Amino acid sequence: MRGSHDLGGLEGLGSISPEAESSEPVFHADWEKRIFALTLAVGFLGQWNLDESRHARERQSPDDYLRHSYYENWWVGLKTLLLEKGLVSEEEFASGQMQSHASSLGLSALQADDVAGILLKGGSVEMETEKRPRFKAGDRVRVRVEVAAGHTRIPSYVRGRVGVIERHHGAHVFADRNALRHREAEHLYSIRFASREIWADKTQEGANVGVRVDLWEPHLDPV
């Protein structure tokens, strides 16, 4: 099922009016800065992972998701997780008064002096696995149409389409399962699709460009 966030290839959503790159600000308002900082800071408490965070934003109603701005969706996802993990209560949100502290929950807060170093360090999502890759470069594969309920990284416009594997990236954390707090390794591939394969009724005659999408092995079937 296509989620409200999965807008690739859809029509009728209005024109796109990008801001000039030279004048586009990183943040359009101070509250966006605060939501960005708050999301990162609370994320370092280790109570959820990146895929859970994405899934929390996606779980709001489609009308709300499309009505909200980018950082409003971040805020909705953050509030959802704070409540679900018991870090903040409905009463605290309503009153604006803190009733507990991270230390009382056995958690260690991110310190301001540590932010730059942690952000620069990053972290790898590569994993070791004894599973052998099912595919190799040059293999033709079809993207599965059926998708389990929940978070998935398959764009709807490539479901059921046939592409050619260009590169095997090795084994990485499987995002679809990681959103449910099951950290598992699956082989990840870069797949090239012809634009005619994806948008057969939309591509202009003679035009056929390559579209590359990274997908995990459980998303794919051999052709």
The CATH number of 30-121 is 1.10.472.20
Give Cα 7 to chain centroid, integer Å: 13
Q: Say what the pLDDT of residue 7 is.
A: 82
Q: Please state, in angstroms and rounded to a whole number, the distance separating the CA atoms of residues 160 and 198.
A: 9
Q: What are the pLDDT digits (tens) for 110-155?
A: 888 888 888 788 788 999 999 999 999 999 999 999 876 789 999 9
Q: Report the alpha-carbon distance of residue 53 to residue 43 in Å, rounded.
A: 9
The full set of domain ranges for the chain reads 30-121, 140-222
Where in the chain does DSSP place strands (E)?
140-143, 162-173, 185-194, 210-216, 220-222
- The pLDDT, as a whole number, for residue 104 is 62
> Of 223, 49, 34, which Cα lies nearest the Cα of 135?
223
Residue 84 confidence (pLDDT): 94
- Dihedrals phi, psi of 218, to nearest 5 degrees: -65, -10
Hey, is 87 helix, strand or coil?
coil
| Rounded CA separation 194/213 (Å) | 11
Which of helix, strand or coil describes residue 213?
Answer: strand
Residue 101's pLDDT band (boundaries 50, 70, 90)?
low
34 versus 200: the higher-pLDDT residue is: 34
Q: What are phi and psi of 109, to 5 degrees?
A: -75, 150
Asked if 115 and 42 touch (Cβ cutoff 8 Å), the reply is: no
Task: Establish how many alpha carbons lie within 13 A of residue 9's alpha carbon, considering only the half-sphere containing its beta carbon.
Answer: 19
Tell me what pLDDT residue 107 has. 75
Fold of 140-222: SH3 type barrels. (2.30.30)
- The yes-or-no verdict on residue 188 having pLDDT over 80 is yes
Range of lowest pLDDT (12-16, 103-107, 210-214) = 103-107
